[in-house]
Amino acid sequence: MRARVARALIPLAAAFAVPPATAAAGTVAPTAFERFATDPDSVVVASREVGSLRSVDSTVTVTVLVVAMRADPSQRMRGARFELRNNGGIEQIYLDDRQFTKLESDVGLMELGDAAAARRGERTARGNSVTGTEACWMPNPVQRILCPELQRASTWTGLRLWTFGGATFDFRDGNVADLRELVERAVTELNEL
């Protein structure tokens, strides 16, 4: 009887060996800018590293880019690359200027919501709370985008950045204001390229 139960548990254990977010990474389409910027026939015309956020657990570095096709330099796209790193690996997310402006708006709303929760004393409420963005709950279209979350719990508080269909990167004691400042700086830099 024990042998049958053990054999039955092996496939179950194997199914849980890969975290769901990592397992689904290959099933989520890249953004149009990611496809364009990583195409072997494209070239980076201009780039500027804007800055980064660092924690004990993770780092995110933001670089704004203008990319063109080698054969036809008039075909261009502009956007930002987010390079996320932790002990588990590296992920790069590419957002075009429209998606990047949406992220700026979403992060600004997250910051306003966090400030309102603090005024009402909800930051210290019992249990866990997560503040995220609408774009990441039900993305349309489904594609690899950057998803910010503010997590508050008795044991862990901070910023979490995850790639839709990919890995999670934790910034303990990170806050939305730091992310908003980085994104705003990147939008300004992108407009100057």
Write the pLDDT tens digit of every residue in 77-127: 999 999 999 998 999 999 998 888 889 888 888 888 877 777 776 655 556
Is the pTM here over 0.95, yes or no?
no
What are the structural domain ranges in the chain? 28-192
Residue whose C-alpha is closest to residue 25's, from 142, 144, 169, 146: 144
Residue whose C-alpha is closest to residue 64's, from 32, 34, 96: 96
28-192 folds as Secreted effector protein pipB2 fold (3.30.2450)
97: left (phi over 0), alpha (psi -120 to 50) or beta: alpha
Buried b / exposed e along 106-145 (16+ C-beta atoms within 10 A): bbeebbeebeebeeeeeeeeeeebebbbebbeebeeebbb
Q: CA 172 to CA 157: how far, in whole Å?
A: 6
Residues constituting the chain: 193
pLDDT digits (tens, 9 = 90+) for 143-160: 888 999 888 777 778 899
